[in-house]
Structure 1
Amino acid sequence: MLLNVQGQEAYCYTGGKPFNRELPTVVFIHGAQNDHSVWILQTRYFAHHGFGVLALDLPGHGRSKGAPLTSVEAMADWLIALLDAAGVQKAALIGHSMGSLIALESAFRAPDRVGRLALVGTAYPMKVSDALLDASKNNEQMAIDMVNIWSHTSIAQKPSCPGPGFYVMNGSQRLMQHVSRQNPAQVFYTDFSACNAYANGEVAAKSLAGPALLVLGKRDMMTPPKATATLTKTIPQCRVVQIDNCGHSLMAEQPDAVLDALFGFMKE
């Protein structure tokens, strides 16, 4: 589905069904150098089981036009404008990695527009190492390689995760390369810089009025579970699910466990 958001064309995947704003809406927000496709295995189930799904491409990512936004705050404003464009008054938000910060900041900026919140592979503060920041600016392929090594629990997921012919690590690498080819504007560096600079997470977490779920990979090296201490101590209604044998690319490495956690939470 194409929408006009802040004067630019924005794309949302709707889970294989036409978007119905009369249903409870769930917005899925991807992370750095990704697009809506990281949520394919979860969004299709939601869309076929009673929810209206908007899995967005952020500006400069995937099919959405425009330059990548330079701050989490700007991305949150964009997301709220997307809800306006879609005619959605209130939605639940599910964000992965950088997307979790966008979800958190959106709930802070528009508390009346956001219901439940699910933060997947999250951390706060979400600091990026100097080595990775430098690579994302000066050697993007090296940054892609670094992130993929650190985001997965093994080179070859077994047995045939999550199905024959599906190579988790290679799929993630190819997606990041695709985003890079589509947009030469140093998307990775812009995204990482935004994560690194975001400083309103604790204030936003304290302000949450509704329930929040943190879905974490026990073997996540990008945003390890211990890096959520500020959020778990600060969010008033917080619960945590940790998934075994899982790194930062939770939605692909353990798709069923992630779906079970998210769907159960959203159905409550």
Structure 2
Amino acid sequence: MTFTESPTLTAESTSRLTRTKHFRIHYHEAGEGHPIVLLHGSGPGATGWSNFRPNIEALAAHHRVLAVDMPGWGESDTQTAETGRDHVETLLQFLDEVGVEKAALVGNSMGGMTAISTAVRHPDRVSHLITMGAPCPGPSLFSAGNGPSEGLKVLIEAYQEPTSENMKRLVRIMCFDPALATDELAALRSAAATAHPEHLRSFLEGATATPAESSTAAFFGLAAQLSSINTPTMAIHGRDDRVVHFENSLRLTTVVPDSRLVLLNRCGHWAQIEHASEFNRLVASFVGAH
């Protein structure tokens, strides 16, 4: 397992801002070439940088890399009932603002949901679909249980009480190797979360939204449309993911025609962090080969 910081790029040197119809969007950008857009997960304190800092520089060697703070996370504006919570529409507006017609979408967890939804709804904007630890619409045969997973319960508790102790619990449950759940990473997530209490409130409000208002409900209604995805697809999943069971990625690659599954043993919910070097090779090779 590997976990390495970017040796020369920093959060400050790659920081950018743009504005869409409803939001000011913060993102990190590096490199040139075919665009790769990195979409983070939903945990408190998640940002484009905290989710992908071991990956941005490696991928930027041959690609234009954009790691986005989605609305309600990081330094981007928050979501409200008035602005809506449609991350697909926000992503399309972001791509328009930064001059990207078609991109490889790389999504972790919630970011994977956005990437899958975009591939279904707007296939002309997606050149490659890459998910890590992402949910997938459809019935679960082996991993179904009553209520949220172990990891999602900890995630919700960290939103409700973003203490350093709860952030450390969150980081630990995301990783297979406890050595990667460092105090530094927990502190980074805690600082990002507590800096924007409006983001925490927005997430908890969204979690109780009605099905008609919920982007999550819309996502899980896409099961019958997954087979229409013609985009080259790669699902990466940790065998030991305690947040989203790997059965989700198996289901995705069962129904998407041009797809493959990479299942990593001794890996939790953050394949891009726990197996950074392998993840970087997989993504660069996949995008470069298609």
Q: Give the TM-score taking structure 1 as reference length.
A: 0.82
SS at match of 1:41: coil
Which residue of structure 2 aligns with residue 84 of structure 1?
A: 96
Count of residues in correspondence between the two structures: 252
Counterpart position of 1:147: 170
Question: What is residue 174 of structure 1 aligned with on the other side?
Answer: 187
Cα distance in 1 for residues equivalent to 2:203 and 2:113: 16
SS at 2:197 equivalent: coil
Q: Are residue 36 (structure 1) and residue 48 (structure 2) matched?
A: yes
Residues 133 and 189 in structure 1, CA contact (< 8 A), matched pair in contact too: no
| Counterpart residue type for residue 251 of structure 1 | Q
Deviation of residue 125 (structure 1)?
Answer: 4.3
Of the three residues 144, 148, 152, the one matched with 1:128 is: 148
Once the two structures are TM-superposed, the CA of residue 12 in structure 1 deviates from its matched residue by 1.7
Distance 2:66 2:98 in 1: 9
Structure 1 residue 26, shift from structure 2 partner: 0.9
Map 1:174-253 onto structure 2 (within 5 A).
Answer: 174-185=187-198, 186=200, 188-189=203-204, 197=217, 198-253=219-274
**Equivalent pair of 2:86/2:215 in contact (CA under 8 Å):** no
Q: Give the conservation status (yes or no) of the 8 Å contact 1:4–1:85.
A: yes
Task: Name the structure 1 match of 2:10.
Answer: none
1:55 aligned onto 2:76: no
Show CA shifts across 1:84-107 (max 9, x none). 111111111000011000001111
Compared with structure 1, are the counterparts of its residues 52 and 202 closer, same or farther at alpha carbon in structure 2 (3 Å cutoff)? same
Q: Write the letter of the residue equivalent to 1:170.
A: D
Output the CA distance in 2 between the equivalents of 1:176 and 1:99.
17
CA RMSD of superposed structures (Å): 2.9
Structure 2 unaligned spans of 5+: 1-15, 139-146, 209-213
Q: CA deviation at 1:111?
A: 1.1
| Structure 1 pair 240–191 and aligned structure 2 pair: CA distance change class (3 A) | farther
CA gap 1:205/1:68 in 2 versus in 1, 3 angstroms: farther
Cα distance in structure 1, aligned partners of 2:109 and 2:157? 19
Greater alpha carbon shift after TM alignment, 245-254 vs 59-68: 59-68
One-letter code aligned to 1:108: V
8 Å contact 1:95–1:101 — kept in the other structure? yes
2:108 to 96, 117, 120: 96
Structure 1: gaps spanning 5 or more residues: 158-167
